[in-house]
């Protein structure tokens, strides 16, 4: 009904804001609601008119019967039975005649109501509605034949009309079920348009400017892994990865566009971010990847390769050697899992590049559903969406989840009024998320770290300079090289103990040390003392120090 229209409009706006639909889908839904509003509005007005006409007809019928009885019994001196028989018969006849205009008005009402929600002309609408259900025409013809049997009805006229309806309905049904010929199918296909003609339309040129956030290209041998009709499960695995990534990191990964690329080797695939290739790999279909887990008891033969996600030496083995490899202590991975693991690692390391301002806006709309006050109190009065995006990207860059948006916004609300440097604001947010950070990087209640010598911390603090655009680090290159060499030395000592090396520094030094070593050791995790929960035990595996 018309009363429900505002609610439907609000539902569309909510879906658009949350990212469930795009702008084109929202326009289509709004247009549909507009047609419904036109339909119900026209129906409301037309039915009021028809309803009044029908009510008057009933009142007139009762007046005729009562008036006829009075006249027959008083003026004509007839008995009640004679007057009833005569004037009810006349009233029924008059009522049938008077209902003919109502029938025409009802038919016109139906045409007006349906016409109000259509964009074509009246003739087209009338013909389309009349022949849209050919089986109804056949049924109507059969009903007319049955009515013609009733005594007193004109048989010839009813039979002629019934024959017309049945003939028309039969031919329409036959036309619906007819299989089109090849010539008709070819004629129905739009003629091919040359590339020059296609791009004469400037709107078609704009389609070339769109860039996919995440895109994968496959060689032709890998198509069965992706094609669902061939039993490929890659798409299902991508969906499950997106779900898990959202649960772990608090960010929804954009859709992954899949293409085939004949220029690639048959077994190759590439991963692109925003149109540029960032990684590629190679897998063998109908083979398995065998990784040495460190407990291999017997070597097996296979095709030497390198696991694409982590660069670990591995073997491609045939399916009939899988059981043998598992018994020998190898870790066995199927080709789809190899590609998914590679894709997931690429997305994790580039998540900060994929988080757009529109994504941040969508996240805020989702937080509003449960914590409206903190969102309205923080954005945009204390921090803009652009600066909030920078803070969230800083967290994602160091693999810190942004799922706890309430804590992030509350911290920004507390410190954002006095601190406008997004890097320093990120440090306060990290400290507020210390339980999340500790849980993510600790193992069995223990955090194995490499500590930073106090002498190095003093050198870093002395090298911090301020400018109009913030702070930066200015240290002699040879000193930086000594610090990096000392870091690499300690990492090599502990690489067999921990998978990800963690350096522990004081809160004021952490951000500058991280920026300094990032270009040399990008996988190094740097934490501050204030980012570690008191319930975890810190175990030092080494100390980074230099000689001056």
220 is a domain residue: yes
In 3-state terms, what secondary structure has residue 218?
A: strand
Residues 31 and 107 in one domain: yes
Q: Which residue, 350, 369, 396, sits at the end of a domain?
A: 350
Instruction: Check if the beta carbon of residue 483 is closer than 8 Å to that of residue 428.
Output: no
Q: Is residue 343 domain-shared with residue 377, that is, in the same domain?
A: no
Whether 402 and 247 have beta carbons less than 8 Å apart is answered as no
Residues 233 and 276 occupy one common structural domain: yes
- Burial of residue 102 (CB within 10 Å: 0-12, 13-18, 19+) is middle
The DSSP string of 321-356 is: GHHHHHHHTEEEE-HHHHHHHHHHHHHHHTHHHH--
Decide: helix, strand or coil at residue 413: helix
Residue 457: predicted pLDDT:
92
R_g of the chain computed on alpha carbons? 39
Task: Say if CB 60 and CB 98 are below 8 A apart.
Answer: yes
Mean of the per-residue pLDDT values of the chain: 84
Q: Give the Å distances, CA to CA, from 40 to 4, 47, 56, 119, 369.
A: 11, 10, 24, 16, 33
Alpha-carbon gap, residue 57 to 107, rounded angstroms: 17
> 243 with 346, same domain?
yes
- DSSP for 9-52 reads HHHHHHHHHHTSS-HHHHHHHHHHHHHHHHHHHHHHHHHHHHHH
Q: What share of the chain is helix, strand, coil (3-state, %, to 5)?
A: 60, 15, 25
Higher pLDDT, 12 or 306: 306
pTM exceeding the 0.85 threshold for the entire prediction: no
Q: Tell me the mean pLDDT in the region 486-515.
A: 90
Query: What 3-state DSSP class applies to 207?
Result: helix
393 and 319 housed in the same domain: no
Q: Does residue 118 carry a pLDDT above 60?
A: no
pLDDT of residue 211: 87
Q: Does the pLDDT value for residue 6 go beyond 80?
A: no
**Shared-domain flag, residues 449 and 400:** no
Residue tagged 């909510």 (tokens): 14
Read off the pLDDT of residues 329-345 as tens digits, 9 standing for 90 and up.
Answer: 999 999 999 999 999 99
CATH of the domain at 424: 1.10.8.540
Same domain, 44 and 110: yes
Residues 417 and 446 in one domain: no
At residue 140, the pLDDT reads 86
pLDDT at 127 exceeding the cut of 80:
no
Q: How far is CA 377 from CA 383, 409, 411, 513, in A?
A: 10, 9, 12, 34
Q: Are 49 and 105 in contact (CB under 8 A)?
A: yes
Among residues 9, 17, 2, which one has the least CA distance to residue 365? Answer: 17
* Strand pairing category for 313-318 and 303-306: antiparallel
342 and 382 belong to one structural domain: no
Task: Inform me whether the pLDDT recorded for 180 exceeds 70.
Answer: no
Which bin fits 304, alpha (ψ -120 to 50), beta or left (φ > 0)?
Answer: beta
> pLDDT over 90 for what percent of the chain?
45
CA separation for the pair 58, 69 (Å, rounded): 17
The answer to whether 283 and 271 have CB atoms below 8 angstroms apart is no
Q: Is residue 510 part of a domain?
A: yes
Within a domain: 146: no
pLDDT of 491 above 80: yes
* pLDDT tens-place string over residues 38-95: 666 666 666 666 666 667 777 877 887 788 778 888 777 778 788 787 878 777 777 7
Distance CA 345, CA 399 (A): 11
Task: For the chain, give the number of residues.
Answer: 548
Q: Which of 350, 385, 406 is the last residue of a domain?
A: 350
CA distances from 123 to 111, 120, 168, 457 (A): 11, 9, 18, 86
| Residue 256 confidence (pLDDT) above 70 | yes
230 domain residue, yes or no: yes
Query: Is 158 a member of any domain?
Result: no
pLDDT: is 70 or 317 the higher one?
317
Contact predicate 350/273, CB 8 Å: yes
Say whether pLDDT at 132 is over 80: no
Q: Over 90: is that where the pLDDT of 435 sits?
A: yes
DSSP conformation class of 250: S
Boundary-marking domain end, from 389, 405, 432: 432
Asked whether residue 301 is assigned to any structural domain, the reply reads yes
* Residue 183 domain flag: no
Please indicate, yes or no, if residue 150 is contained in any of the structural domains: no
Report the pLDDT value the prediction gives residue 114, as an integer from 0 to 100.
60
Same domain, 484 and 419: no
Whether residue 246 is found in the same domain as residue 329: yes
pLDDT reported for residue 51: 67
**Contact between residue 330 and residue 290 where contact means Cβ atoms under 8 Å apart:** yes
The whole domain housing 511 covers 442-548
Structural domains counted in the chain: 4
Cβ contacts of residue 33 below 8 Å, gap of 6+?
A: 5, 8, 9, 12
Q: Are the C-beta atoms of 429 and 411 separated by less than 8 Å?
A: yes
Query: What one-character-per-residue DSSP string does 63-116 give?
Result: HHHHHHHHHHHHTS---HHHHHHHHHHHHHHHHHHHHHHHHHHHHHHHHHHHHH
pLDDT (0 to 100) of residue 50: 62
Residue range 391-411, pLDDT digits in tens: 999 999 999 999 999 999 999
Cα gap 526→237, rounded to integer Å = 32
Say yes or no: 364 and 339 in one domain. no
């Amino acid at each position: 009904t018309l009363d429900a229209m505002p609610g439907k409009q609000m539902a569309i706006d909510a879906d658009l804001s949350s990212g469930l639909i795009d702008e084109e889908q929202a326009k289509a839904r709004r247009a549909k609601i507009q047609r419904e509003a036109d339909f119900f509005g026209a129906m409301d007005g037309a039915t009021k008119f028809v309803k009044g006409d029908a009510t008057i007809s009933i009142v007139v019928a009762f007046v005729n019967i009562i008036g006829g009885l009075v006249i027959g019994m008083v003026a004509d001196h007839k008995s009640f039975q004679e007057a009833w028989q005569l004037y009810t018969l006349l009233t029924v006849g008059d009522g049938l005649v008077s209902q003919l205009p109502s029938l025409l008005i009802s038919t016109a009402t139906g045409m007006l109501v349906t016409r109000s929600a259509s964009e074509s002309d009246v003739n087209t609408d009338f013909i389309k509605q009349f022949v849209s259900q050919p089986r109804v025409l056949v049924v109507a013809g059969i009903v007319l034949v049955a009515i013609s049997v009733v005594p007193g009805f004109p048989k010839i006229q009813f039979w002629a009309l019934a024959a017309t309806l049945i003939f028309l309905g039969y031919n329409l049904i036959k036309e619906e079920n007819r299989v089109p010929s090849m010539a008709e199918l070819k004629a129905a296909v739009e003629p091919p348009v040359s590339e020059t003609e296609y791009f004469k339309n400037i709107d078609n040129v704009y389609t070339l400017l769109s860039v996919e956030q995440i895109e994968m290209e496959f060689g032709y041998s890998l198509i069965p892994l992706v094609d669902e009709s061939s039993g490929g499960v890659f798409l299902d695995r991508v969906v499950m990865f997106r779900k898990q990534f959202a649960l772990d990191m608090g960010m929804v990964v954009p859709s992954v566009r899949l293409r085939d690329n004949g220029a690639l080797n048959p077994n190759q695939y590439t991963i692109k971010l925003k149109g540029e290739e960032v990684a590629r790999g190679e897998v063998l279909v109908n083979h398995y990847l065998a990784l040495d887990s460190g407990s291999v008891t017997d070597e097996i033969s296979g095709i030497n390769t390198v696991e694409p996600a982590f660069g670990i030496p591995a073997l491609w083995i045939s399916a009939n050697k899988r059981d043998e490899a598992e018994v020998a202590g190898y870790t066995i991975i199927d080709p789809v899992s190899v590609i998914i693991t590679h894709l997931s690692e690429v997305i994790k390391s580039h998540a900060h590049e994929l988080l757009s301002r529109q994504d941040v806006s969508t996240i805020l709309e989702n937080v509003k559903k449960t914590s409206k006050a903190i969102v309205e109190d923080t954005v945009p009065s204390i921090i803009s969406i652009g600066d909030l995006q920078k803070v969230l990207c800083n967290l994602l860059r160091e693999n810190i989840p942004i799922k706890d948006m309430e804590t992030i916004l509350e911290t920004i609300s507390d410190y954002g009024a006095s601190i406008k440097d997004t890097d320093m604001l990120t440090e306060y947010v990290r400290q507020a998320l210390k339980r999340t950070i500790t849980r993510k990087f600790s193992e069995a209640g223990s955090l194995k770290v490499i500590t930073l010598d106090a002498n190095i911390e003093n050198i870093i603090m002395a090298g911090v300079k301020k400018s109009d655009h913030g702070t930066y680090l200015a240290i002699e290159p040879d000193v930086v090289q000594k610090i990096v060499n000392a870091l690499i030395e300690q990492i090599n000592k502990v690489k067999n103990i921990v998978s990800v090396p963690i350096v522990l520094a004081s809160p004021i030094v952490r951000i500058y040390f991280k920026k300094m070593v990032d270009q040399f050791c990008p996988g190094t995790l740097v934490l501050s003392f204030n980012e570690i929960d008191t319930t975890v035990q810190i175990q030092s595996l080494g100390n980074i120090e230099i000689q001056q």
